[in-house]
């Protein structure tokens, strides 16, 4: 019995304050209308996914970088050179399924925290990620990068019916940073009950747990439609030039 207990502890105990990154990269990019999934479009010399992984690989605090890709993804092997911490998990039908699969992939040696970051957001800065992690760990609460809505917001379909007060409106960005157990349980339960989950915070909110809003740069855009490509390419080049100085 004692042996069994020791075996259980060794295999299921979380490393204190350990952090694994999860990168959902199994989407098809339907809104991009490109021949390949958008994460494999090349901008400023690298694919979007390579840019994202190069950013995360600068974070020494990460124990693993789990990338969820579709089962037929032919490109994953070409990413291994970026960082030895990169591991492959299976993508799912929706983004939330890809994240849950990645959490389950980590189940045998779970980290204390997970940092979930879209493959499609290569412009995130290390400074913003470190700020998010520091605030959440200091307060022992999960949170997300978000940017305050800047434009006047209208509600309506063909005609504007209302101007929506925006004082407390934020755009959700990634990374989103939560305790491993809390996120896995919330996501599993919410998906089981058929709740629509578009980001990790929506699962945590549904579970009535707090989500910190940490102001991040609004140019951490999610590359979604063709008109995002020129802007993202310009900003990636700018970041690379600044880093080279």
Ligand X SMILES: Nc1ccn([C@@H]2O[C@H](COP(=O)(O)OP(=O)(O)OP(=O)(O)O)[C@@H](O)[C@H]2O)c(=O)n1
Determine how many CB atoms are found less than 10 A away from the CB of residue 241: 10
Determine how many CB atoms are found less than 10 A away from the CB of residue 205: 15
Decide which of ligand LQXTBERG, ligand X, none touches 27; Cβ closer than 5 to 8 Å per partner kind: ligand X
What phi, psi does 74 have (nearest 5°)? -90, -5
137-173 as b/e: b if 16+ CB within 10 A? eeeebbbbbbbeeeeeeeeeeeeeeeeeeeeeeeebb
Identify which of residues 4 and 97 has a Cβ nearer to ligand LQXTBERG in the complex. 97
Sheet containing 86-90: order of strands:
86-90, 62-69, 15-24, 111-116, 170-179, 143-148, 212-215
Q: Does 54 bind ligand LQXTBERG (CB under 6 A)?
A: no
Q: Does 98 bind ligand X (CB under 6 A)?
A: yes
- Considering the complex, what minimum distance in angstroms separates the CB of residue 158 from ligand LQXTBERG? 23
Decide which of ligand X, ligand LQXTBERG, none touches 98; Cβ closer than 5 to 8 Å per partner kind: ligand X
- Considering the complex, what minimum distance in angstroms separates the CB of residue 177 from ligand LQXTBERG? 13
Query: Which of positions 132-191 make contact with ligand LQXTBERG (CB under 6 A)?
Result: 172, 174
Which residues have C-beta within 8 Å of that of residue 180, sequence separation ≥ 6?
14, 20, 103, 106, 110, 111, 112, 113, 114
- Considering the complex, what minimum distance in angstroms separates the CB of residue 19 from ligand LQXTBERG? 18
Q: Does 31 bind ligand X (CB under 6 A)?
A: yes
Using CB under 6 A, pick the residue from 12, 58, 160, 198 that binds ligand LQXTBERG.
198
- Considering the complex, what minimum distance in angstroms separates the CB of residue 62 from ligand X? 18
The rounded distance, in Å, linking the Cα atoms of 50 and 64 is: 16
Query: Which of positions 123-182 make contact with ligand X (CB under 6 A)?
Result: none
Q: Which residues bind ligand X (CB under 6 A)?
A: 24-31, 38-39, 68, 91-95, 98, 118-120, 222, 224
């Amino acid at each position: 019995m004692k042996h069994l207990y020791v075996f259980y502890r060794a295999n299921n105990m979380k490393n204190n304050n350990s952090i694994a990154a999860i990168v959902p990269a199994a989407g098809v990019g339907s809104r991009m209308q490109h021949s390949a999934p958008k994460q494999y479009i090349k901008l400023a010399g690298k694919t979007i996914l390579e840019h994202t992984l190069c950013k995360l690989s600068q974070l020494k605090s990460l124990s693993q970088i789990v990338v969820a890709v579709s089962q037929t993804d032919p490109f994953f092997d070409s990413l291994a050179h970026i960082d030895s911490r990169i591991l492959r998990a299976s993508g799912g039908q929706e983004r939330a399924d890809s994240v849950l699969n990645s959490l389950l992939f980590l189940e045998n040696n779970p980290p204390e925290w997970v940092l979930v970051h879209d493959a499609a957001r290569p412009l995130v800065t290390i400074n913003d990620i470190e700020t998010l992690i520091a605030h959440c760990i200091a307060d022992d609460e999960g949170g997300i990068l978000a940017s305050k809505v800047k434009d006047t917001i209208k509600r309506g379909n063909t005609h504007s019916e209302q101007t929506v007060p925006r004082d407390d409106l934020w755009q959700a960005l990634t990374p989103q940073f939560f305790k491993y157990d809390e996120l896995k349980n919330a996501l599993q339960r919410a998906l089981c009950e058929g709740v629509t989950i578009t980001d990790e915070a929506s699962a945590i909110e549904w579970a009535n747990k707090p989500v910190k809003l940490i102001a991040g740069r609004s140019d951490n855009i999610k590359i979604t439609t063709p008109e995002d490509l020129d802007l993202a390419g310009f900003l990636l080049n700018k970041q690379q030039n600044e880093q080279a100085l």
